[in-house]
């Protein structure tokens, strides 16, 4: 197990459409372990495999609060199959866009199908934070970032800032140690 580096915008890999998982083998299990370790270390509440540079449709999540026992969840090949007309707005952040938060409007509730670790089909209906987090992470495996849901003006400003930072601090990890973890969706 290892904490892996998290890709930061403007890394082009974050725009890749990830490939469906065909088998849960030793390699995939190792990837999932690394994803949890990386997600907990960040800390974040959700992570898509592409955020550590692996273009596979795998999402890890843990929405447990600090004082609650861990609730690790894995979603393989997740897909939104239904979303409510009713919208909800939530202030989102992303481990791949550190220290930037913005309100994002999304469907309030979603139905998501996915495979579990035995490749058995599962379905969940989610609302609240889980619905937001699932949509955010499923966006990631389709190469979509939460800033794609905000105004172009704001998005351009964020991209500009990160492009500039990437040039200046090549190889330096921009994550600070005392960041507020609850803001990071993944």
What is the set of active-site residues? 137
| Binding piece for Ni ion, criterion CB under 5 A, among 35-43, 81-89, 91-99, 120-128 | 91-99
Q: Should residue 32 be labelled a site residue for Ni ion when binding is judged by CB under 5 A? A: no
Q: Should residue 52 be labelled a site residue for Ni ion when binding is judged by CB under 5 A? A: no
| Binding piece for Ni ion, criterion CB under 5 A, among 1-9, 93-101, 150-158, 159-167 | 93-101
For Ni ion, which is the closer residue by CB, 24 or 166?
A: 166
DSSP assignment string, 142-167: TT--GGGGS-HHHHHHHHHHHHHHHH
**78: Cβ–Cβ under 8 A, 6 or more apart, which residues?**
57, 59, 112, 113, 114, 134, 137, 138, 141
For Ni ion, which is the closer residue by CB, 9 or 115?
A: 9
Partners of 46 in the β-ladder: 61
Q: Should residue 49 be labelled a site residue for Ni ion when binding is judged by CB under 5 A? A: no
| Binding piece for Ni ion, criterion CB under 5 A, among 76-84, 119-127, 168-176, 178-186 | 178-186
- Binding residues for Ni ion, total number by CB under 5 A: 2
Q: Should residue 50 be labelled a site residue for Ni ion when binding is judged by CB under 5 A? A: no
b/e map of 145-172 (b: 16 or more CB within 10 Å)?
bbbebbeeeebeebeeebeebbeeeeee
C-alpha–C-alpha distance, residues 32 and 57, integer Å? 11
| CB atoms inside a 10 Å sphere around CB 93 | 24
We find the least distance from the C-beta atom of residue 145 to Ni ion, in angstroms, to be 7
Q: Should residue 94 be labelled a site residue for Ni ion when binding is judged by CB under 5 A? A: yes
C-alpha–C-alpha distance, residues 155 and 28, integer Å? 33
Query: According to CB under 5 A, which residues from 156 to 175 bind Ni ion?
Result: none
For Ni ion, which is the closer residue by CB, 28 or 61?
A: 61
Q: What is the binding site for Ni ion (CB under 5 A)?
A: 94, 186
């Amino acid at each position: 197990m290892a904490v892996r580096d998290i890709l930061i915008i403007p890394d082009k890999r974050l725009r890749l459409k990830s490939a469906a998982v065909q088998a849960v083998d030793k390699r995939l299990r190792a990837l999932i372990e690394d994803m949890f370790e990386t997600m907990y270390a960040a800390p974040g509440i959700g992570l898509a495999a592409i955020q550590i540079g692996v273009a596979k449709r795998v999402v890890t999540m843990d929405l447990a609060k600090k004082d609650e026992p861990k609730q690790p969840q894995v979603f393989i090949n997740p897909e939104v199959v239904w979303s409510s007309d009713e919208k909800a707005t939530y202030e989102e952040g992303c481990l791949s866009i550190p220290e930037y938060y913005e309100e994002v409007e999304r469907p309030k509730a979603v139905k998501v199908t996915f495979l579990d670790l035995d490749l058995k089909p599962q379905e969940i209906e989610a609302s609240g934070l889980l619905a937001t987090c699932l949509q955010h992470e499923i966006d990631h495996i389709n190469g979509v970032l939460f800033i794609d849901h905000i105004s172009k003006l704001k998005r351009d400003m964020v991209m500009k800032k990160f492009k500039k930072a990437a040039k200046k601090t090549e190889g330096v990890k921009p994550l600070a140690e005392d960041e507020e973890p609850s803001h990071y969706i993944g």
